[in-house]
Chain A
Amino acid sequence: MRQRSLIAITAALAAGALTLTACGSRDDDGGGSDSGNGGTTVVIGVDAPLTGDLSALGLGIKNSVDLAAKTANKEKYVEGVTFKIEALDDQGQASVGQQNATKLVANDDVLGVVGPLNSSVGEAMQKVFDTAKLVEVSPANTNPALTQGVNWQKEKVRPYKSYFRTATTDAIQGPFAAQYVYNDAKKKKVFVIDDKKTYGAGLAATFTEEFKKLGGKVVGTEHINPESKDFSAVATKVKNSGADVVYYGGEYPQAGPLSKQIKEAGAKIPLVGGDGIYSADFIKLAGAAGTGDLATSVGAPVEELPSAKEFVANYKAAGYKEAYEAYGGYSYDSAWAIIEAVKKVVEDNDGKLPDDARAKVVDAMQNVSFDGVTGKVSFDEFGDATNKQLTVYSVKDGAWGTVKSGTFTG
């Protein structure tokens, strides 16, 4: 009978291993910013998934922050202060992100953090940073609850004073997509799928609400397991539901195969998603099936903004191996907002960093206002970006192309 107990032990171990593989630390890559000559060193922390499924987006964030720090150093933008970055990898895991937050808080030179990418990771980091009065600016978190509290639909309450973001929220992104799908693309029957994560489920919910309000019909809903890659059963359901469009709340590692398998099942209908699928890797994973799929993303396309020309040119000149991806411009602006805040604090204190620099930077951040890569950068009373620009993209000839850019109005 020992074998049977062995199997039981093994099964228990296996379940433990399932959760454990998510952890484990990896080498920290401190980035490559030059340390300048003398003066104070201020470290800008970066937290993003630098490895794993979402690394394409994460590395774009890290490089863009690095570029902002280098630019500030080159221009001697803040007299007597040299900026450095410390980039930590959260692998898209909330638990790892929280450990990283603790680590960044422990480093006294860190006066601001850019990141993270995932709303669920952001949720886990907020409190750690807020207790330490360390400012956090996310270029990519879009879940409304992060700035407006969990009951944001009824009563907006800002949970953490130290949290800001340059990205627009899903409270705007979901409805914006719904309006485009219903009014412009003329699709009336939607099948809604999400991955049950903070970002995906939130986005799918705001989309569904607006789509129904406009008069559209939800012919089916489904929640997928992000660990899975066989969506054939779901794809068959989509096909038989008679939907003429699929909305997916989630990220590209699942969206790519999902789109491919839905088309393979015989439903030749577009998949629409949020900024989480707006990545070149989505097209790589979906293959030819991705053609015609749509994504909304925050802001206007960086390539087309006159304010972004310099960023695009500098990024290219710096010779980063990875593309800046969807959040490059926002990451640069997030980092630059921290630099602006530090500048204000230093100038108010006769060119030196005060002892309570972190708290002062948080206060200064609230009033930051400058012309950034993505347009005017400033924050409202919740810490949300005042810039509410969004754009619809679609896959054409193996690349994302702009379809429509606009500002969402109620």
Chain B
Amino acid sequence: MNELPQQLVNGLLLGSMYGLVAIGYTMVYGIVQLINFAHGEIFMVGAFGALTVHLYLLPDGTSIWVALPLMLLGAVIVSVLVAIGAERFAYRPLRGAPRLAPLITAIGLSLALQQAVWAFYPEAKSKLPFPQIEGGPFSIGGATIQTGDIFLLIAAPVSMAFLAYFVMRTRTGRGMQATAQDPDTAKLMGVNTDRIIVIAFALGAVFAAVGGVASGLKYGQIDFKMGFILGLKAFTAAVLGGIGNIYGAMIGGVVLGVVETLATAYIADIPGLDKFGSQSWAEVWAFILLILVLLFRPQGLLGERVADRA
């Protein structure tokens, strides 16, 4: 039996999750040149926000179809509030500081958020079960898709389309582009750059929250560490696709997910490489690809040359 379609679907799903989180990295980087390492944690608190709505705000036995939009709303609210708070109190005071200062702040914030959830969320010391969508899997052209994955399959392209429309067509979106190109000139032209930066953080948080809910639905569990590894992978996806480019983030995510999956599935079949084919080696292959891409296209897959901006 040919397992390629199934493995491609597996990779696409994993990659869509990376992509949703990668958008947040790339947008913030594009506008303030800050690598927001706490972004993985924004993803994590989003998932916890959704779970909180399910556990404490909705009556027991609420249908998942009623609960899901409310959980999504809860996730978005929590993520956006945390992201705006982080921007206002952790990053804005450091706006003029050397680049490394906000970077270290971001790593510190990431640890602080993880530990805060660990310490204060009830029973967050072990993995928490996340509500699931009932219903059997669907079979499409030789591949099986789980009910929990449907959300991700719909949410990722819809989010992407919304973001593209917002950035290209709306006034605020054009303000973002202007700020990304030249913050000082944008300010002189009447763009409220402080507001634009907040919006960039908030938008990234919305996508991270969607990703958090998708992750809970897909894997059926969440925990306080879930954002850390995923955040690193999403950052990798953003670099792979071309950091600063929102389409690149999504493409980079999908490429990374598919490469990891295919490496697990097929590397072991290559003669002489059977030792390096298991899932524990998948990330090694993904990073080999990243190095190769950066060697030949340092700006990433879809990135533009930005050497003049430093």
Contacts and interface: CB of A to CB of B under 8 A. Distances in A.
Contacts of A6: 33, 35, 99, 103
Contact of B265 (A3, A56, A236, A284): A236
A7 B129 contact: no
B288 interface: no
Interface stretch (B6-14, B63-71, B247-255): B6-14
Interface in B102-142: 103, 107, 110-111, 114, 118, 125-127, 129, 132, 137
Nearest to B137: A264
A154 interface: no
A4 B298 contact: yes
B293 to A, nearest CB: 13
Interface in A253-285: 253, 256-257, 260, 264-266, 281, 284-285
Given A9-B100, A265-B6, A14 B146 contact: no
Nearest to A237: B265
Given A223-B280, A233-B7, A260-B220, A51 B261 contact: no
B126 A53 contact: yes
Given A52-B125, A55-B126, A232 B261 contact: yes
Contacts of B100: 9
A240 B3 contact: yes
B159 interface: no
A230 B310 contact: no
Contacts of B146: 264
Contacts of A185: none
Interface in B195-233: 219-221, 223, 225-226, 228-229, 232
Given A7-B239, A223-B279, A224-B280, A257 B221 contact: yes
A260 B221 CA distance: 11
Given A53-B126, A264-B146, A265-B144, A225 B280 contact: yes
Contact of B144 (A2, A227, A229, A266): A266
Contacts of A3: 33, 306, 309-310
Nearest to A265: B144
Interface string A358-371: 00000000000000
A17 B146 CA distance: 34
B235 interface: yes
Given A1-B310, A264-B146, A265-B6, A285 B127 contact: yes
A1 B306 CA distance: 8
A4 B294 CA distance: 10
Contact of A222 (B220, B279, B310): B279
A253 to B, nearest CB: 7
B125 A223 contact: no
A49 to B, nearest CB: 10
A222 B281 CA distance: 10
B307 A1 contact: yes
A52 to B, nearest CB: 7
A231 B279 contact: yes
A256 to B, nearest CB: 8
Query: Which of B10, B13, B226, B265 counts the most A-chain CB atoms under 10 A from its CB?
Result: B10
A1 B299 CA distance: 11
Contact of B229 (A227, A253, A281, A287): A227
B3 A232 contact: no
A18 interface: yes
B232 A233 contact: no
A250 B3 CA distance: 26
Query: Which of B219, B220, B261 counts the most A-chain CB atoms under 10 A from its CB?
Result: B220
A37 interface: no
A10 interface: yes
B181 interface: no
Contacts of B243: 7
Nearest to B111: A21
A81 B309 CA distance: 73
A13 B103 contact: yes
Contact of A10 (B35, B126, B225, B278): B35
Contacts of A55: 125-126
Contacts of A1: 307, 310
Interface in A1-52: 1-4, 6-7, 9-10, 13-14, 17-18, 21, 51-52
A172 to B, nearest CB: 27
Nearest to A2: B310
Contacts of A256: 221
B1 interface: yes
A253 B222 CA distance: 12
A27 to B, nearest CB: 10
Nearest to B309: A3
Interface of B: 1, 3, 6-7, 10-11, 13-14, 33, 35, 37, 99-100, 103, 107, 110-111, 114, 118, 125-127, 129, 132, 137, 144, 146, 219-221, 223, 225-226, 228-229, 232, 235, 239, 243, 260-262, 264-265, 278-283, 298, 306-307, 309-310
21 contacts: A3-B309, A10-B103, A10-B235, A17-B110, A18-B232, A21-B114, A53-B126, A53-B127, A196-B280, A222-B278, A223-B280, A224-B279, A228-B229, A229-B226, A232-B10, A233-B10, A236-B6, A236-B265, A260-B220, A266-B144, A281-B127
Given A3-B310, A17-B110, A223-B280, 12 more contacts: A2-B310, A7-B243, A51-B118, A228-B279, A233-B11, A237-B265, A239-B3, A240-B1, A257-B220, A265-B6, A285-B221, A287-B220
Interface of A: 1-4, 6-7, 9-10, 13-14, 17-18, 21, 51-53, 55-56, 196, 221-225, 227-234, 236-237, 239-240, 253, 256-257, 260, 264-266, 281, 284-285, 287
- 9 shortest A-B CB distances, which residue pairs? A223-B278, A233-B264, A232-B10, A2-B310, A233-B261, A225-B280, A223-B280, A240-B3, A224-B279
